[in-house]
């Protein structure tokens, strides 16, 4: 290790929060690997667009666009089929979009119920029923997938270097929980 690397390492280590038990990115990665350190990344598309690669950005945008495609499809089907009950698909798609928040504890239950209704209406050959339940189900699923892509990307980038970890930790792009010390950073 030459003098420049030593100086860089000293600068990196000085940026860690006071009392943070890990001193290098390798120690942080090891803590994540052995599950004594947990990193959570709240949804923040600004961080994804600034630091993510093109594939992650396009994938995120693709999944986020699905609820709006469902809304347009519901409107077109309602007009073409003359079944204006299908316009409830617009409302259900928006509800699915907004219920994708990870803070909603019944999200998993809603996902299971909507999937069950979707299958039930397919078996019963009820076109209106499975279009409406599918509007909610696929909107919820697509938005959850977009949120997961964003969160996974931020976590991956934060573990790429100590500088990224420090930046994301100090700007609250990630939340770190140390199980050993029972402390959040």
pLDDT tens-digit readout, 58-81: 999 999 999 999 999 999 999 999
pLDDT of residue 8: 56
Between residues 91 and 111, the one the model is more confident about: 91
40 contacts 25 by C-beta, under 8 angstroms: no
Give the torsion through C-alpha atoms of 177, 19, 46, 64, to 10 deg.
0
Assess whether pLDDT exceeds 80 at residue 19.
Answer: no
- Collapsed DSSP state (helix, strand, coil) of residue 26: helix
Which range has highest mean pLDDT (94-103, 104-113, 133-142)? 133-142
Query: DSSP assignment of 77-126, as one string?
Result: HHHHH--GGGGHHHHHHHHHHHTT-TT-TTHHHHHHHHHHHHHHHHHTT-
pLDDT of residue 5: 62
pLDDT of residue 179: 85
pTM of structure: 0.79
Most distant CA pair in the chain, distance: 75
């Amino acid at each position: 290790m030459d003098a420049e690397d030593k100086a860089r390492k000293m600068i990196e280590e000085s940026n860690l929060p006071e009392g943070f038990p890990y001193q290098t990115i390798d120690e942080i990665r090891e803590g994540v690997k052995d599950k004594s350190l947990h990193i959570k990344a709240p949804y923040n598309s600004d961080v994804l667009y600034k630091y993510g690669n093109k594939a992650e950005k396009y994938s995120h945008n693709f999944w986020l666009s699905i609820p709006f495609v469902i809304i347009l499809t519901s409107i077109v089907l309602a007009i073409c089929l003359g079944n204006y009950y299908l316009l409830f698909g617009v409302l259900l798609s928006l509800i699915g979009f907004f219920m994708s928040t990870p803070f909603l504890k019944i999200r998993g239950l809603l996902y299971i119920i909507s999937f069950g209704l979707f299958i039930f209406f397919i078996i019963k050959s009820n076109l209106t029923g499975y279009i409406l339940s599918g509007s909610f189900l696929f909107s919820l699923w697509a938005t959850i997938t977009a949120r997961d892509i964003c969160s996974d990307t931020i976590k991956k980038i934060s573990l790429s270097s100590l500088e990224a970890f420090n930046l994301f930790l100090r700007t609250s792009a990630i939340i770190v929980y140390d199980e050993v010390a029972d402390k959040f950073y």
